[in-house]
Chain A
C-alpha cells in the first residue's frame, strides 16, 4: 500500500509540474482516490487540469501543492517517440570547412566526452590520388533506415518520428553489434568508467539520470554513445552545439517538413540549397537514408592545407591540462 502511495505521489507531482498531465489518466484517478484516506481537507474549490488524453479533469484545490523538488521523472514514452510533426536534418557545407575544429571542441565539452574518440570528427578526406583533398565533418547520420537500430537486441537504440536515432544507456547491454552495423563508424564505446568529474552531478551531488536526449550526461560504463543531434538544445529552441560553435557556418540544422535550415547567420530553404549546391548523402548506395546532407567542396575560399595545422591523426578529444 505504501508503495502505491508513493507511486501516487510521484504521478501527482509530475501531473502538476508541467501544467499538463504527464502521467496516465488512470494513475491520476488512482492518485486522487488514494488521497481520500489522507488527512487533507477538501476545500470544495476545483482546479481544472488537462489530462494526456486531452480531457479536462477537475481535482480539489487542496491536492494542488507546489512541487517538492525539481527533479523531473523521465517520460520515456515521449523520449522514444520524439517531437511530433518534425523531421530534423543537417546540412554540412564542405566548401566552407577549414578544419577549425570548434565543432569538435564544443561537442566534446557539452557532451562531457572524456574518452579517446570524439563523436563528431573532422576527417581528412581524399578518395584517390587524383582527386582533391577536403575536410569532412562527420556526425551520426541519423539514418531513416538505421542499421544500428535493426540489429539492437534490446531496443536500446531507437529511431524517433522526428528523425533522431538515440541510445538509452540504461538499456544498452554492451554487445556492440550496433557499432559493427554502422557503416559510418559513428558510435563510440565506454570501455571504462567515464571520468567526467562533477559536471554530470546535479545540485544534490548525485549523478544525473542518463537521458537519451542528452547523451553523455553522464556517459555510462559498458554502453554505447554517439552524436544525439542535441535534442536538449532543440527543447530550448537552440541549435546543436556544433552548429553554433562553427565560425565558418559549415553546419546548417533544421526541419525537413518546414523545408528550412539555418546555421545561425542565415536561414535557407533546404530543397533550394540542396538543389543549388548539388547536395548529397554519404554512401547513398547502402540505402541507409541519412538525415545529414553534404554540399560538395566546391569553390573553396581557403586552401585545404591551412587546415593541416590543426589536424591530429591520433587525437580527437583534447586532454585537459
Chain B
C-alpha cells in the first residue's frame, strides 16, 4: 500500500507535458477563430448561418441541447451514486463535476450565440414573461451553473488546503492561491460538519434541478405544435438521452485523464467495468424512450407524422438516423454486454462514439422537424428547403466544444482530479503517516 506522500505526489496537479501544451494552444486557437466568426455574425447578422425562415434553428440549438445533456453527468455520478452508496465513484466524482460545470457554462453561452439580438440580452430579465419556456431556461441555467460550481467547490476545500501545504516551498505563489481558495480550511470538527452538511444538501438539490433542466430543454420543443416535437414523451426522452451523453462523455474524459496523469492505480479496470455497466443501463433506457418516440407513432401516424417518420426511416435523413441509432446506441449496448467491451480502451472508443452519436442525435431531433411544417414550403429559394450548417456555424460550434474542453483541461490541470483527502481516508492513510 502506498503511503500518504506517494499519494500526494500522484494526485497533486502537475505541469502540462508537451502534448498538453500543444493541446491547450490548439484549443485556444480554435476558440479565437470561433470568436472572430461570432463577431462577424454579429456584424453581418445571422445571414452568415445557413438557417432560414423554415430551418429557423440549427446546430447552435442542437449543440446547446448537447451541452445541457452532458451536464447531466454530475447529478448521476455524484448524487445518484452517492444516494445509492456506490463507493466506487470516489475517483470519478471530481471529473464528473468538472464536466458538468464546463457543459452547463457552455450551454449558457451557446444559447446566447443563437440569439440574433445579443445586445438585448437584458430584456430576458427586464421583460421576462413566466409563461415562456425560454424564461424557464433563463432561470434554470444560471441556477444549475451555481449549484454545479458549489458541487465542485465544497468537496475541494480540504484538497485545496492540502495543496497549499504541498506547494509551500516549491511554488509559494501557487500555494498562496490554493490557500485563498481553501477558505482557511483546517479540517476541524466544526468545519467538517458544515462541509458535510453543505455537500449533502447540494448533492440532493442537484438531482431535481438537473431533471428540471433536461425537462425544460425538452419543453422548448414539445410546447410547440411541430410534428416530431409535440410529444409528452420528450422530457423523459431528453433525461434518458442526457444520461447516455453524460456517462459517455465521462468515460472518454476519464480515459484521457487517467492516461496523461498516469492514474492507472487509482482508476482501475474495475471502475471502467462499473462505468460500462452504467452506460449500458443508460443506453437501454434511452432505447426504450426512442422506441416510444419513433416506433409507436409509426402505428397511427397522422399525415404530417407519416412524412416526418418516412424522412427519418427511409428518406433524406435516414443515413444519419440509422447511424445514430445503430452505431450510437444499439451497438454500444451489445459491446458493453461483454466483459472485454468494458476494458479501458474499448470503453474509450465506445464512449467517443456514443458522445459523437449523441451530438448528431440532437441534430436529428431539431432539423428534420423544422423542414416539415404544416403548410407546404413555397415561395422561398430552393436552398431554404434544406439545411446544412454554414462555415460560420461550424467554426463557432467547434469553438464552443473547444471551449468546454479547455475549461475541462484547465480544471484538470490545476485541481486534483481525484479527491486527495477522501482517497486517503478510504485507504486509511492518515496524515500522521508523513511524520514517519
Digitize B125-157: 1 where CB-to-A-CB distance is under 8 Å, 0 elsewhere: 011110111110010000000000000000000
Complex CA distance for A152 and B124, rounded to whole angstroms = 10
B46 within 8 A of A: yes
B370's closest neighbor in chain A, by CB?
A180
Q: Which of A153, A191, A221 contacts B135 (CB 8 A)?
A: A153
B383's closest neighbor in chain A, by CB?
A314
A177 adjacent to B123 (CB under 8 Å): no
The smallest beta-carbon distance between B217 and chain A, in angstroms, is: 13
Known contacts A179-B56, A191-B45; is-contact A171 B224 (Cβ 8 Å): no
15 A-B contacts, Cβ less than 8 Å apart? A116-B381, A124-B378, A150-B132, A153-B138, A174-B120, A179-B53, A181-B223, A183-B225, A185-B377, A191-B46, A191-B116, A221-B45, A312-B379, A313-B378, A314-B381
B117 adjacent to A173 (CB under 8 Å): yes
Chain A residues near B166 (CB-CB < 8 A): none
Size of the chain A interface, CB-CB below 8 angstroms: 46
Q: Which B38-96 residues sit within 8 Å CB-CB of chain A?
A: 44-47, 49, 51-54, 56-57
B10 within 8 A of A: no
Q: Which of B46, B49, B53, B124 contacts A173 (CB 8 A)?
A: B124
B115 adjacent to A138 (CB under 8 Å): no
A317's closest neighbor in chain B, by CB?
B379
A175 adjacent to B134 (CB under 8 Å): yes
A190 adjacent to B124 (CB under 8 Å): no
Chain A residues near B126 (CB-CB < 8 A): 154
List chain B positions with a Cβ less than 8 A from chain A: 44-47, 49, 51-54, 56-57, 114-117, 120-121, 123-124, 126-129, 131-135, 138, 220-221, 223-226, 370, 373-382, 384
Known contacts A174-B46, A223-B116; is-contact A154 B124 (Cβ 8 Å): yes
16 new A-B contacts at CB < 8 Å, known A121-B379, A151-B223, A185-B53: A117-B52, A123-B376, A151-B133, A153-B132, A154-B123, A155-B129, A171-B120, A175-B115, A179-B56, A183-B226, A183-B373, A189-B53, A223-B116, A312-B379, A314-B381, A316-B379
Q: A-B contact count, CB below 8 Å?
A: 143
B374 adjacent to A184 (CB under 8 Å): yes
A273 within 8 A of B: no
A170's closest neighbor in chain B, by CB?
B120
Digitize A184-198: 1 where CB-to-B-CB distance is under 8 Å, 0 elsewhere: 110111111100000
Known contacts A176-B56, A192-B44, A314-B379; is-contact A154 B128 (Cβ 8 Å): yes
Complex CA distance for A189 and B123, rounded to whole angstroms = 19
The smallest beta-carbon distance between A245 and chain B, in angstroms, is: 17
7 shortest A-B CB distances, which residue pairs? Answer: A174-B116, A316-B379, A222-B116, A153-B134, A192-B47, A153-B132, A191-B47
Q: Which of A173, A176, A190, A193 contacts B121 (CB 8 A)?
A: A173
The smallest beta-carbon distance between A34 and chain B, in angstroms, is: 29
Known contacts A117-B379, A118-B379; is-contact A180 B224 (Cβ 8 Å): yes
